[in-house]
Amino acid sequence: MEQKNVIKLFEDKKIRTIWDEEQEKWYFSIVDTCEVLAGTDRPRKYWSDLKKKLLEEGSQLSEKIGQLKMPSADGKFYKTDVADTEQLLRIIQSIPSPKAEPFKCWLAMVGSERIDEIADPELTIDRALEGYLKLGYSRKWINQRLQAIQVRKELTDEWADRGVRKGQEYAILTDEITRAWSGMTTRQYKGLKGLKKENLRDNMSTMELVLNMLAEATTTELSKVKQPEGFEESRKVAQEGGSVAGSAREDIESRTGRPVVAGDSAAELRGIPERTEEKE
């Protein structure tokens, strides 16, 4: 498991974090978080008492907490309790502090929005459009991205019909498609763009999105025709569907003389002005 130690700043305080490359998760020092949000000078004692409080509230979170080695003030590494993002947000909910209140309000707002989206799924698309516009993406790119979401949904629906299980099996099939069309695994692709938790598709150029859609749409159509049973048969279809887009990528690259798959991140993509079509 490859880990990278990072120090996150919260106002004038520091929270130690570790990025787990294998699980693609950030882990945060719980005692540091308690010290920052609760304002305590005895963070370990505070965390010990908070664990008891969580148990009294019926939470099993403390049983899921792990330990990782993190640097201390003396420069040495010691094991300390860590939490991933979901676990940390749950801990914050139980910290009675003015500094924790903004996080709690944000969680309440996100929860309310999620409930609204369940009642009216169209709100999800509206919020996605609004979010991409605020981030500075061009409307041309956004249209492609929203179409890519629909193509992806059709593929996962097809996988579900073929008995493929959500989670790890979906991830493996996605990796097979990505490898077949781009020549890289999903992790290698994200590494090329310098990504961690960020969504890979949100960091693709228009051409990358189009080829990824071609790969996923082709996989969906092949699956409907071949009707694979279960994960292993669907895996072969995923490789075949991805290879169709892979051939298209190679043809494009041979004609243009430049690679389709690039290391540009979202920030770099947003810095490229949208081209206007020349009138004939």
pTM higher than 0.85, yes or no? Answer: no
Q: How far, CA to CA in Å, does 69 sit from each of 18, 66, 108, 239?
A: 9, 10, 33, 39
| Strand pairing category for 66-71 and 3-10 | unpaired
Give DSSP secondary structure letters for 249-277. Answer: HHHHHHHHSS-SS----HHHHHTSPPPPP
238-259 mean pLDDT: 97
The pLDDT of residue 271 is 59
230: its two tokens: 């279960």
Q: What is the per-residue pLDDT across 165-218, written as a single tens digit (0 to 9) for each?
A: 999 999 999 999 999 999 999 999 999 999 888 899 999 999 999 999 999 999
The vertex-5 CA angle with 3 and 10, nearest 5°, equals: 135
Q: What is the per-residue pLDDT across 84-114, written as a single tens digit (0 to 9) for each?
A: 999 999 999 999 999 889 889 988 998 998 8
The CA distance from 254 to 45, in Å, is: 63
- Least Cα distance to 18 among 89, 63, 66 occurs for 66
Q: What is the per-residue pLDDT across 116-161, written as a single tens digit (0 to 9) for each?
A: 888 887 888 888 889 889 888 888 899 999 999 999 999 999 999 9
Position 214, amino acid: L
